[in-house]
Amino acid sequence: MKVLSVNVANARPLAIDGRTVMSAIDKRAVEGAVAVRLLGLEGDEQADPTVHGGVGKALYAYPAMHYAFWQTVRAQARVAAWDAVLPPGSMGENLTIDGLDEDRLWIGDRLVAPHCVLAVSEPRFPCFKFDAVMGFAHASRLMAQSGYCGSYLGVIEPGRIQAGDVLRLEPGPREVNLRELFKARRG
């Protein structure tokens, strides 16, 4: 399990259905080590702190293995070419990760990186901004059906993180699985 990319964005205006909202969903990969603080990554913002950010949602991690699914459904929806590649950060995630999906994560599990420790706190529940960024109206519904939600992370030990960092999973109490919680709340 490892970090493939570290992604950040500043909040900026995003036009959706004739109105303008602030969003920092358009994350992009950065080079080198990034400081991990209790409330998130250095250089990253959250536009709506009522649903993103804070102690329990300081970072958002998304499995790279799900990118092929999103590339396919975007092509099927005719909003992208079949060979269009989504860059890391396209799901709005801070960490694009390899080797760790929602079925293997439980609330309270810890992800131990070489220079910081993170804890799985809850699944991500998409909104209309996700639909807009994906380019079609039912993207959030497809996330709900697939369970490809990714995970919010709290910061247990601040430090730094970078692409290539190996993650070690330390199991928590193993009472609530991330995907099961996501599906239960969406049902």
Q: Provide the pLDDT for residue 51.
A: 80
Query: pLDDT tens digit string along 29-38?
Result: 999 999 999 9
Query: pLDDT tens digit string along 61-89?
Result: 999 999 999 999 999 999 999 999 999 99
CA distance 148 to 179: 8
Q: Are 100 and 160 in contact (CB under 8 A)?
A: no
Q: Are 79 and 135 in contact (CB under 8 A)?
A: yes
Domain boundaries, the chain: 2-186
Q: Are 148 and 93 in contact (CB under 8 A)?
A: no
> Which CATH number is correct for 2-186, 3.40.50.2300, 3.30.930.10, 2.70.98.60, 2.40.33.20?
2.40.33.20
Taking the whole predicted model, whether its pTM rises above 0.85 is answered as yes
